[in-house]
């Protein structure tokens, strides 16, 4: 199984940013053009680019979608988008404009029946984003924590037909302290599906460790790239196994 590297572009106010553990008050701006950033990732050889509409996640509606659609229309890389997707209209807005995969997160918790309907209708073009805080699902831009265990949610949607999960451990996100490999592995084991790890990747060794685990199909890399811990080219080489 190939291991895919997903360079990340988190968008807020039209800028490329990173948050520390999802805290909107701890933001670092790394660029003022999400499209230019996506173009640079595609030029470096990225097959996939992970984009997140942070404003959308917080406000519950699409905010930075124009940058996503521009990247999908002009770049050869596949684009996946999460944040602010609350309706079938939102999903179609992206899929009909060239986006390859839409990530549903908060709506999967608040309206699981709708999420299951979308998974069954659009198949592999829907990924389920599960963001966990101390093992429990966090929603709405990580501003709220539910009483639902992350692995229980994962199993429910795997049973419903979801093929791809993006699992984020909030405690590690943006910290450069290494991913929570045990938690990602647990999600992969419980779901039996492809799980993309998100949060904490700080080194090529982290990528190597994730790639060695059964069921982990890829890793989202953000701050480590922006802080020049390694290059995207080096990361892509590490992902070939």
From the list 53, 131, 169, 173, the catalytic residue is 131
Check: CB of residue 48 under 8 Å from CB of residue 41.
no
Joined tokens for residue 2: 């190939």
DSSP state of 96: T
What is the distance between the alpha carbons of residues 226 and 197, in angstroms, rounded to a whole number?
18
| 10 assigned to active site | yes
From the list 10, 65, 90, 169, the catalytic residue is 10
Check: CB of residue 150 under 8 Å from CB of residue 142.
no
Joined tokens for residue 223: 């701050």
| 100 assigned to active site | no
At 26, which helix (H) or strand (E)? strand 23-31
What is the distance between the alpha carbons of residues 130 and 111, in angstroms, rounded to a whole number?
14
What is the distance between the alpha carbons of residues 156 and 172, in angstroms, rounded to a whole number?
25
Nearest to 207, CA basis, from 169, 175, 238, 167: 238
Q: How many helices (H) and strands (E) does the chain have?
A: 11, 12
Active-site residues: which are they? 10, 131
């Amino acid at each position: 199984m190939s291991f895919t590297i997903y360079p990340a572009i988190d968008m807020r106010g039209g800028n490329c940013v990173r948050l520390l553990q999802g805290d909107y008050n701890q933001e670092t701006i790394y660029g003022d053009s999400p499209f230019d950033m996506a173009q640079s990732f595609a030029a470096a050889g990225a097959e996939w680019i992970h984009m997140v509409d942070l404003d959308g996640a917080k406000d519950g509606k699409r905010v930075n979608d124009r940058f996503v659609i521009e990247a999908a229309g002009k770049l050869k890389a596949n684009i996946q988008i999460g944040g602010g997707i609350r309706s079938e209209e939102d999903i179609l807005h992206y899929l009909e404009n060239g986006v390859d995969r839409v990530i549903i997160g908060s709506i999967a918790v608040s309206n699981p029946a709708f999420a299951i309907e979308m998974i069954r209708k659009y198949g592999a073009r829907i990924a389920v984003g599960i963001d966990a805080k101390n093992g429990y699902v966090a929603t709405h831009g990580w501003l709220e924590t539910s009483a639902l265990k992350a692995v229980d949610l994962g199993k429910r949607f795997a049973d419903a037909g979801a093929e791809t999960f993006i699992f984020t451990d909030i405690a590690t996100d943006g910290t450069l302290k290494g991913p929570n490999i045990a938690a990602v592995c647990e999600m992969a084991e419980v779901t039996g599906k492809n799980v993309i790890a998100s949060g904490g990747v700080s080194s090529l060794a982290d990528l190597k460790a994730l790639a060695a685990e059964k069921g982990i199909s890829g890793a989202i890399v953000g701050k480590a790239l922006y802080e020049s811990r390694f290059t995207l080219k080096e990361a892509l080489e590490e992902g070939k196994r």
